[in-house]
Structure 1
Amino acid sequence: MKLCSTWYLAGCLGLTLFFSACKKETIEKSRLREFNLTSTVNGGNYDIKVALPENYAASGEYHTLYVLDAKLDFDLVALECERQARDRHREGVLVVGIGWGHDRLDDYTPTPSKIGSGGADKFIRFIETELIPRIESEFHAVPARAARGILGHSAGGLFVGHSFTNHNGVFASYLCLSPSFWYDDAIVLRNEKVNREQNRTGRGNFFLGLGEMEEKMRPPFVGFRSALQTYYPNYAVQDYITPGKGHLDSKETNIKRAVTFFFDNI
């Protein structure tokens, strides 16, 4: 069943590319590291940002949260992680922002279509085999699935869902905001069924966020949430629908709730 018309689909996926919130705060420069990484897996050239936690020490080991669409969302996520750690009087986490190495719709889509080339499998192989090893070796990230999370919005949320269904061994925590699960006739929901038996015995955490006004996004969102609640007993699952908000204006609230959920479960 087609959940949205083609023009709506392209708009849902592309809007975030042009949206930028006013950010009055940024991470302290002394705790920000930046580098460029060219992938041998997919040929993409990615700008990477790493926010070190307060009181970062080379002798420590840190949980890691990987953030898609870093140009749009890295600062907000990094600042929220910093605030959560401070308020909880606990050790912070590494926040790793992944910039755009290709058109985002090429990297984030799991199958090819008119609006994306379906490069998600190669993109996650880049993350798993090239980016994660560097973060673990240079920044003292805990080298374990249980210590890794990923956050994405819109097409990034679609990629988060695909990571869960098809590459479940990479991350344990999934923060999935306004996910474009309508893509390719809800391919992520179909993949969940195909891979359910091998994934359901694992442990982890899954947060789903949406805006109340995202009516055309809601059916696959509800279907995926139902599958998580029914078939994954070892996962902490939480969802939140932001009242009165749409695709973009629900994002800040849902990021903050997702980061809270992340800290509650690591």
Structure 2
Amino acid sequence: MTGNKAVTTWQKIQLFYQNILENGDKRTDNWLLVYSPVPIICIFLCYLIIIWVGPKLMERRQPINLKPVLIVYNFAMVCLSTYMFYEFTASSWLAGYSLLCQPVDYSDSPLAMRMARVCWWFYFSKVIELSDTIFFILRKKNNQLTFLHVYHHGTMIFNWWAGVKYVAGGQSFLIGLINSLVHVVMYLYYGLAALGPSVSKYLWWKRYLTSLQLLQFFTVTIHTAYNLFADCDFPDSMNGVVLAYSLSLIVLFSNFYYHSYIVRKTKTT
């Protein structure tokens, strides 16, 4: 009886996994890191191992000078974010997307494929951004390895794997569009900061960068909540996940803002 039950459970797991593989967007199945969740899970596990082992390996070593790498990396991310912002904007505008309710166009039309491709690039950019954490570790900036940082970087790769796998386009375009714009500003800030003290003394606007990040989460929350309760042909399951996730980021970033700019300011006055 136990053996039969175990077989049944295993068969259910296999069926569930097969459904994950086969019920996705056929247009994106052959794209890098899309068809199966296994590769992105492996990347995530490696990411966690690096976070755990990295600081221990660097404990008795001097911080590594990554200035040239950081300058190139941050300004390359500015270029990539600018490209994605343009592609999200152009694709949605030319296809006549609605800001209130936009179903996914699963056709092979040029505009539908253009939107799907920029969604993939956005997803892949989240994999690239895991490098932010590695740079912190190599520079011994372990105070930057906060729960907010690890949670945000680690979960975005899964959110957008699901996005590209099942809903490459539709109303999720707005998340990519807004986030790409915010990341143009964010990586520009970090790129300028990497140039050194001669430039960093002019970067007084970090507080407003955090405010901009919070504004994007509020915008996504309102937009997703509207679509969740409206009669819109977009998966409610996806809307529910995005809504819960954006609310969690509002809480975490608000907490960061409060402790970084309000509590710290009160202590210094």
Determine if the TM-score, normalized by the shorter chain, exceeds 0.5. no
More strand by share: 1
Higher radius of gyration, 1 or 2:
2
| TM, length-normalised to structure 1 | 0.28
